[in-house]
Amino acid sequence: MRPFLLFLSLFFSVALYAQEQTEIIKLKQLQDHLHAKSDRIKVINFWATWCAPCIKEIPLFEKLNSERSDVEVTLVSMDLDLDPNPEKVYRFIDRRKIKSKVLILDERNPNMWINQIEKNWSGALPATIIINSKTGQRKFVERELHEGELEALIAEIL
C-alpha cells in the first residue's frame, strides 16, 4: 500500500507541475502578451501536440529559453481548437520536461482571431513571431525552424 501511495503522490505532483507553469488563456490575454513592453526579445511559438514539425523544433525553443537571458520564450498551444481537454498538453510538458512558459489558447473559430494575432499567418502550424517591443520590430515565420535560424532572426531585430 505505501509504495502505491508514494507512486500516486509522485504522479500527481508531476501533473501539477505541468499545470502550474501552464495557463489557459483567451485571445485578449494573448494580445496583451504580444503588445506588452519588455526589455527582452519576445519569441512566441504556435504549436500543438499533434503537429510533428512543431514537436521537432521545440528543443530549439527550449535551448533558446535556457541559454539567453535577453530572450523570453512562450509556447502557445493550439490544441484546444481540436480537443477541448488540455490533458494531452500537460502530459507532453511533463514527458518532455518543458521549461519554457506555455499558454494554451482557448478560442473557437480561428477565422475570427488569426488576423488579430498576425495578418500574414494562414493558421498552419508551426508558426513563430519574434518581437522587439522597444523598437516595435517584428518577424513572422510560418514553417519549421532549424538549428541556428532563431538566433539569426533575433539578431536581425536586436
Report phi then psi at 66, rounded to 5. -85, -25
Strand order in the sheet with 71-77: 22-25, 101-105, 71-77, 41-47, 127-132, 137-141
Q: How far apart are the first and last CA of the chain?
A: 57
Among 50, 59, 87, 99, binds other proteins (CB under 8 A): 50
Say how many residues touch other proteins, by CB under 8 A.
Answer: 26
> Is residue 109 within the footprint of other proteins (CB under 8 A)?
yes
> Is residue 137 within the footprint of other proteins (CB under 8 A)?
no
Cell of 148: 541556428
Candidates 18-26, 32-40, 59-67, 114-122 — which segment interacts with other proteins by CB under 8 A?
Answer: 114-122
Where do the DSSP E strands lie in 14-97?
22-25, 41-47, 71-77
* Residue 17-46 contact track with other proteins, rule CB under 8 A, x = bound: ------------------------------
Candidates 6-14, 94-102, 117-125, 150-158 — which segment interacts with other proteins by CB under 8 A?
Answer: 117-125
